[in-house]
Amino acid sequence: MDDAALLIAELLTRRFLPRTHPRVKRALVNAELFAQVEQRLADVGLRWMDNIYAEHVSVALLPAAQNPILGEAGINANNNMELPRDGVALLVVLWALIILPKRERQTSRVEPDVPQNEMFAGSKPMPAVRDVSPVLSYKALLEDYGPQLGKKTRLDVNLKLLERQNFIVRKLDDIAEGPLLDVLLDYDILAPRILDGALADVLLRERAEQPAADATAAPETIPAES
């Protein structure tokens, strides 16, 4: 078997590979090899999944293959990984809390402890994912989003499902980015929906409530003695 066949076979077996994997590195720098990989994947209805901000690569169905493989019910479903709706909601929340700030730091070419407006920050190399990807606290997640995501029981169940699907990794109370979180979820589609959709509504509501909060917090005026 040649390098293209071996790389595809390993990807299909493991679901994802790190960009540092020897065959992945070779494919990313060898245009001819990469073209062979893409063509062979396309021949069986698959496509290469990758972006420069992620540390792993994967494969997914080509759009043209989705209908024959998944059928109308599958395409119209909210996911094809058997995640419940509150599990998908949790996945989107985790993506927004982890990937959005990570991408901002990566595109700014700055480390987490460097001010965003530092001069010449754009000339720095892109920080490693492990240095800029936020780590979430389980307790904070439960406190902030538990009521909307089924409380502790459902949150625990869905976190286990997402960990099993390699979207997240957990260590004690910490929740961190998994190999597939920034690969299988399309940033270009999801980010505008969050930033211009749900998050925009939250920001507008907070701005509207702020004057009332300021007025409530303001001390009463004491009339001057005549």
> How many distinct structural domains can be found in the chain?
2
What is the pLDDT averaged over residues 31-36? 96
Query: Does 212 reside within a domain?
Result: no
pLDDT in tens, 86-96: 899 999 999 99
Instruction: Compute the distance between CA of residue 170 and CA of residue 168 in angstroms, rounded to an integer.
Output: 7
Which of 135, 152, 177 is at the close of a domain? Answer: 177
Q: Are 151 and 191 contacting, i.e. CB atoms less than 8 angstroms apart?
A: no
Statement to judge: residues 138 and 65 lie in one domain: no
Burial 141-166 (b: 16+ CB within 10 A, else e): bbeebeeebbeeeebeebbebbeebb
Asked if pLDDT for residue 116 goes beyond 60, the answer is: no
Q: Which residues have a Cβ under 8 Å from the Cβ of 113 and sit 6 or more positions away?
A: none
Higher-scoring residue by pLDDT: 121, 150: 150
pLDDT at 217 over 80: no
Distance CA 76, CA 53 (A): 29
Strand partners, 137: 174
- Is 158 part of a structural domain of the chain? yes
pLDDT in tens, 152-163: 999 999 999 999
Whether 100 and 66 map to the same domain: the answer is no
Distance between terminal CA atoms of the chain? Answer: 98
- In order of 2, 25, 28, 59, the CA distances from 33 in angstroms are 10, 11, 8, 16
Label residue 58 by pLDDT band (50, 70, 90): very high
**Residue 122 within a domain:** yes
Q: Do 90 and 67 share a structural domain?
A: no
Domain span holding position 32 = 3-73
pLDDT at 77: 56
* DSSP one-letter string for 160-189: HHHHHTTSEEEETTEEEE-TTTTTSS-HHH
